């Protein structure tokens, strides 16, 4: 039985990867993160946009069953730390634009799909953090790159594997709904982040 569940999780990861590839690549193209982060202003603006997503996403996620809860995966406090280091007061952070309600995240399966996108971006953040710290040096390294560092070099891969292990609990009848949640999350980020 465990073997069958394991195969189901692998199949779900493959489905997620294959069926969201177009939106994932579109987001990377639209975002053009290397160009945006070439200046400290562009980097700060992107952090502010991520804050506007996480400020809505994380409270919503906390209302869901523990299976899909944050369990130490929250990033909002990391973005706030970065923005504070870059000169934002708590009031200025609280006044940043937020994404509209994420109404498509209405059930467990869609939330798992959204978590796939968010956790995947944490993996990518390891590459981005190195790039940003190389470009902007000590003013970033000394405290304004916590969000993209995520769980840190040693913990990020194990956290990703732990998330994949959670997919063992997703019934095959829910796979399409998980993929739909991931696709909608990618599209939402594609509409939100590049602005």
In terms of phi and psi (left: phi > 0; alpha: psi -120 to 50; beta: otherwise), the region of 97 is: beta
Asked whether the beta carbons of 112 and 164 are under 8 A apart, the reply is no
97 CB neighbour count, 10 Å cutoff: 12
Tell me the domain boundaries of the chain: 2-192
User: At the top level of CATH, which class does the domain 2-192 belong to?
Assistant: mainly alpha
List the alpha helices (DSSP H) in 72-107.
Answer: 76-85, 90-94
* Helices 153-166/108-136 angle, 10° precision: 170
Predicted local distance difference test score (pLDDT) of residue 138: 72
Q: What is the pLDDT along the chain (195 residues), one digit of tens a residue?
A: 444 445 566 689 999 999 999 999 999 999 999 999 999 999 999 999 999 999 999 998 887 765 666 778 999 999 999 999 999 999 999 999 999 989 999 888 999 999 999 999 999 998 899 888 888 887 777 678 999 999 998 999 999 998 988 888 899 999 999 999 999 999 999 999 998
Query: Please, what sign has the CA dihedral across residues 45, 51, 53, 55?
Result: negative
């Amino acid at each position: 039985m465990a073997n069958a569940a394991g195969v189901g999780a692998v199949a779900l990861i493959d489905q997620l990867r294959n069926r969201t590839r177009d939106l994932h690549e579109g987001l990377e193209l639209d975002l053009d993160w290397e160009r945006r982060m070439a200046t400290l202003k562009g980097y700060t603006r992107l952090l502010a946009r991520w804050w506007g997503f996480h400020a809505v996403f994380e409270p919503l996620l906390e209302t869901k069953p523990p299976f899909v809860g944050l369990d130490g995966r929250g990033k909002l406090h990391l973005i706030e730390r970065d923005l504070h280091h870059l000169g934002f007061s708590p009031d200025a952070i609280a006044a940043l634009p937020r994404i509209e309600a994420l109404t498509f995240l209405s059930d467990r399966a869609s939330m798992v799909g959204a978590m796939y996108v968010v956790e995947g971006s944490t993996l990518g953040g390891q590459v981005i953090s190195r790039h940003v710290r190389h470009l902007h040096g000590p003013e970033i390294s000394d405290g304004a790159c916590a969000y993209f560092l995520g769980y840190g070099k040693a913990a990020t891969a194990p956290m990703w594997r732990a998330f994949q292990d959670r997919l063992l609990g997703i019934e095959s009848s829910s796979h399409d709904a998980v993929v739909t949640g991931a696709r909608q999350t990618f599209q939402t980020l594609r509409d939100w982040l590049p602005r």
